[in-house]
A and B are shown apart, each in its own frame.
Chain A
Amino acid sequence: MTATANHPSTGTPHATTGAPGATSWVPATEAAPDAAAAGAAPAAVVPPAATSSARTRPGMLATEGRPLVRPPAAAHLSDEQVAEIGRELDAIRDAVLAKRGAADAAYIRRVIRAQRVLEIGGRAALLGSRNKVAWVAGTAMLSLAKILENMEIGHNVLHGQWDWMRDPDIHSSTWEWDFVTPARAWQHTHNDLHHRWTNVVGKDNDIGYNLLRMDPDQPWKPGNLGNPLYNAILAPLFEWGIAIYDLELEDFKKGRKSKEAMKSDLKALGLKAAKQFTKDYAATPAAAMLTGSGKQALVGTLTANAVRNLWAHAVIFCGHFPEGTDTFSEEMVEGETRGDWYVRQMIGSANISGSKAMHLMTGNLSHQIEHHLFPDLPSNRYAEVAPQVKDLCRRYGLPYTEGPLLKQVGSTWGKIFRLALPGGAKPARG
């Protein structure tokens, strides 16, 4: 039996008796079971229905054949070589699956525990944040907690990386995160659309998030002059940008998304936003007022959210936009095989090099290439897979883009400035 979920073919999921009456023969200490509890069936998980309904699911990708056009960076490969790349990458994935087990489960539980301790510590410190040390400590801990929660935990759990444990508390169908956009909405635009259509101009709206011109093949409009400004505004408000993006307003305007779907998405977002807002900007500061730290606590939570937003924005923009990453046309995915799908993920993504701590704080999205190849492998395994993927790229003459964070951020901003102006085609690859 082979589970094919999240493999080249598709994204991750959208989402997640009674005893007879009293017997006169049993001791009086034993109460008759009451109906409510007898009916409880804790394992019955009802996953929420898909947000946008009738989207067609792609079938499994073929293992043989070729797309109409192969991307320039892979044009030198024969069909057989591409198929071989597919087989090699499948083997790398299978090797990790064979090892995945108790140590991985212990890892994610450790991270979750650490995150929760940090979060409690942070909020507790903010309660007394009139004291400067408490403010700095509280804000720092909360920022860290939020980053961990969104990146190493939330993003990866929502990808289904931990579904294999079958723990309903750490499962892609039940998880909700500390981020404004509701988990289900994000799973749809991110797992289903972005991961499937990675960097395909016209299909992957993550290219610029409908806001920025991030590819020379996107036609220039005068509004694009504001590219750098928009991005500077987007960064500290990133979670709100993503929330609006996940509403798929463009699809709604073009009639591809129904009014009902829009309404229910808006409602879900409204509810989630209200809860998030209450927690960070009302409940925590209100409790801090008891020590006269209300204002400081408010500034602290605002800062923590902004820090997380800036960080997430930087990391995510480094995933697909730095110099060296490719974008693709629709002909390049027409007839795409499993091997071609893998190739597109590799040459369309970029890694960030750095320390172990840096990888953790990016939710291992610093291994963007490995993440795009194997979106549902547990994130703690990307580091060991990376050298194998890098070696494969070297052997097949494919680019493997990586660089330190600052360089990649700079490269991304460079692109944003360049594409604010008309044209801006990439410098030819050497």
Chain B
Amino acid sequence: MIRLRKLAQAASLFTTPLAPEDFLALLNPIHSTRQLRGVVTRVEAETADSATIHFRPGRGWKAHEAGQWARIGVELDGVRHWRSYSLSAAAGEDPAITVTAVGAVSEALVRDTRPGDVLFLAPPQGDFTLPEHPRPLLMLTAGSGITPVMSMIRTLVPRRRDADVVLIHSARTPESSLFREELAELADQFPNLRLIQRFTATDGRLDLSTPAAVEAICPDWRQRAAYACGPDGFVGAAEALWQAEANGAGLSIERFDTTFAGGAGQDGGVVTFELSDREVEAPGDVPLMEVGEDAGLLVPSGCRMGICHSCLIPLRSGQVRDLRSGEVHGEPGELIQTCVSAAAGPVSLGL
């Protein structure tokens, strides 16, 4: 390894200002230490609108923990877009994501991905992961929110006889329910998994406004480490329930989307990206991250929904609006989350 680095250093004398890897990339497209990439190895259709994409990551990737997510970069018409996807494969196995088509990027991933395609990647992150010590678990999932939990179940259920997992999964219909057969088989085969599938088109939604419904399915729910993942409304309801009943303790959540209602109908302003020397007129309901990206800047990003803080940029002047709450804030020097902040009047950023 050390010798390799020496060799690379020597080689860079010949390649400066490029790096030796820029030339090696002529032969192997995923050979880059600057930009982590993966090659798609397999694509499996899950439902009419979703697919699981298996990939072999290049150097720099870290094996994921069950429940973690990774940023995936895709090129749509020549432009790089980044989105977060939970890794649905069991820990210890080659990574895979399971994507449901709901918009431009997910649509392209589900419909147009073929083995051999190159995905841009960032190493897995996130702390929506299994508890450190064995505990009975309760999983509440809805829609595509099953993906990180699927990784946990695949990791745990077949390999740990002492596991005790109750999964309540909601999907609209059986046809649109992800991993339906695999889950049923696992529940059949392993007594440590109890599966409650709920199809909201016929059964109605799981009522989380009171403990009654959860209690009826899982009487010892209070003793379990609970996980909730799904659309914003679903996760919010679970959060409120645990807040009311258990002071918020014992529940881990993961959100896949968030409502940006706070910026609706608000005025924006001119955004100045000081270090990049760019000025852009921005509406009051568009995250500064998107404003910068549309101007061609490389804006640091992560989850794109206000949970990971990978996107902090110092505010130089002006104020921003939090798109989740509508709150206007900002002091010079304050680090702001560009993915959930929009311009509230003229804004200057240290980017």
Smallest CB separation, A383 vs chain B (Å): 19
Q: Check if A37 is an interface residue, CB within 8 A of chain B.
A: yes
Per-residue interface assignment for chain B, residues 248 to 262, with 1 indicating a CB less than 8 Å from any chain A CB and 0 otherwise = 000000000000000
Q: What is the total of A-B residue contacts with beta carbons within 8 Å? A: 215
Q: Find the residue from A24, A113, A272 having the highest chain B CB count within 10 A.
A: A24
A263 vs chain B, min Cβ distance (A): 20
User: A43-B301, A44-B310 in contact; A178/B277 too (CB < 8 A)?
Assistant: no
In the assembled complex, the Cα of A30 lies from the Cα of B63 at a distance in Å of 7
- Name A residues whose Cβ lies closer than 8 Å to a Cβ of B: 1-5, 9-27, 29-31, 33-34, 37-38, 40-45, 47-50, 57, 60, 100-106, 113, 116-117, 120, 123, 160, 163-169, 171, 173-174, 176-178, 192, 272, 275-276, 278-279, 282-284, 287
Q: Are A4 and B275 in contact (CB under 8 A)?
A: no
> Could you say which of B48-56, B154-162, B227-235, B326-334 contacts chain A?
B154-162
**Which residues of chain B come closer than 8 Å to A164, judged between CB atoms?**
78-79, 296
Q: Is the CB of B293 within 8 A of A27?
A: no
* Interface status of B92 (Cβ within 8 A of chain A): yes
A-side contacts of B14, CB under 8 Å: 123, 279, 283-284, 287
Interface flags for B81-93 (1: CB within 8 Å of A; 0: not) read 1100000001110
B132 touches A23 (CB 8 A): yes
Known contacts A31-B63, A42-B36; A3 and B125 CB within 8 A of each other: no
Closest beta carbon of chain A to B165's beta carbon, Å: 11
**Residues of B contacting A167 with CB < 8 Å?**
80
Flag whether B26 is at the interface (Cβ < 8 A). Answer: yes
Q: Are B280 and A1 in contact (CB under 8 A)?
A: yes
Partner of B65, one of A19, A60, A282: A19
Q: At the interface, yes or no: B198 with Cβ under 8 Å from chain A?
A: no
The answer for the CA separation of A26 and B159 in the assembled complex, in Å, is: 9
Set B65, B82, B133: member contacting A30, Cβ < 8 A: B65
When the two chains form their complex, are residues A163 and B297 in contact, meaning their CB atoms are under 8 A apart?
Answer: yes
B34–A169 contact, CB under 8 A?
Answer: yes
B117 contacts the other chain (CB 8 A): no
Q: Say yes or no: is B244 at the interface (Cβ < 8 Å to chain A).
A: no
Contact of A160 with B23 in the complex, beta carbons under 8 Å: no
Residues of B within 8 A of A (CB): 13-18, 22-23, 26, 32, 34-36, 60, 62-63, 65-66, 68, 71, 75, 77-82, 90-92, 122-127, 129-134, 155-156, 159-160, 163, 273, 275-283, 286, 291, 293-302, 308, 310, 351
Q: Which of B26, B133, B160, B279 contacts A10 (CB 8 A)?
A: B279
Which of A43, A100, A117 is in CB contact (< 8 Å) with B122?
A: A43
Contact of B60 among A37, A123, A173 (CB under 8 A): A37
**7 new A-B pairs (CB below 8 Å) besides A1-B282, A27-B91, A117-B26?**
A23-B130, A24-B133, A37-B123, A47-B298, A101-B78, A165-B80, A278-B13
If the complex has contacts A23-B65, A30-B65, are A168 and B275 also in contact, measured as CB distance less than 8 A?
no
In the bound complex, residues from chain B placing their C-beta under 8 Å from that of A33 are: 62-63, 65
Contact pick for A38, options B62, B275, B282, B295, CB 8 Å:
B62
Which chain A positions have C-beta within 8 A of B80? 165-167
In the bound complex, CA of A225 to CA of B129 (Å): 77
CB pair A165 B278 closer than 8 Å? no
CA distance A116 to B68 in the complex (A): 38
Bound-complex Cα distance A25 to B163 (A):
9
Collect the chain A residues with CB atoms within 8 Å of residue B278's CB. 3-5, 10, 13
Q: In the complex, which residues of chain A have a beta carbon less than 8 angstroms from the beta carbon of B132?
A: 20-25
* Bound-complex Cα distance A34 to B68 (A): 15
A166 touches B66 (CB 8 A): no
> Top 9 nearest A-B pairs by Cβ distance?
A163-B296, A105-B78, A17-B125, A176-B17, A101-B77, A13-B276, A44-B300, A3-B295, A166-B80
Q: How far is the CA of A80 from the CA of B196 in the complex (A)?
A: 71
State how many angstroms separate the Cβ of B285 from the closest Cβ of chain A. 11
Residue of B nearest to A100 (CB): B78
Give the CA-CA distance A168 to B33 in the complex, in Å. 12
- Residue of A3, A14, A166 near B298 (CB, 8 A) is A166
Q: What distance in Å separates the Cβ of A282 from its nearest Cβ neighbour in chain B? A: 8
B65 adjacent to A26 (CB under 8 Å): yes
Cβ–Cβ contact A5 & B125, under 8 A? no
Do the beta carbons of A43 and B310 come within 8 Å of each other? yes
Chain A residue with minimal CB distance to B77? Answer: A101
Give CA–CA (A163, B85) in the complex, Å. Answer: 25
Across the interface, do A5 and B79 meet the contact criterion of CB distance under 8 Å?
no
* A-B pairs with beta carbons under 8 Å apart, 7 shown: A10-B279, A11-B277, A13-B275, A23-B131, A101-B77, A169-B32, A278-B16
Q: Please give, as numbers and ranges, the residues of chain A lying within 8 Å of B90 by CB-CB distance.
A: 27
Q: In the bound complex, do residue A42 and residue B35 qualify as a contact, i.e. CB atoms below 8 Å apart?
A: yes
Contacts of A44 in B (CB 8 A): 300, 310
Are A50 and B277 in contact (CB-based, < 8 A)? Answer: yes
Chain A residues lying within 8 Å of B163, measured Cβ to Cβ, are 25
A17-B308, A33-B65, A275-B17 known; A38 vs B125 contact (CB < 8 Å): yes
Q: B279, A4: Cβ atoms under 8 Å?
A: yes
For residue B299, which residues in chain A have a CB less than 8 angstroms away from its CB?
A: 43
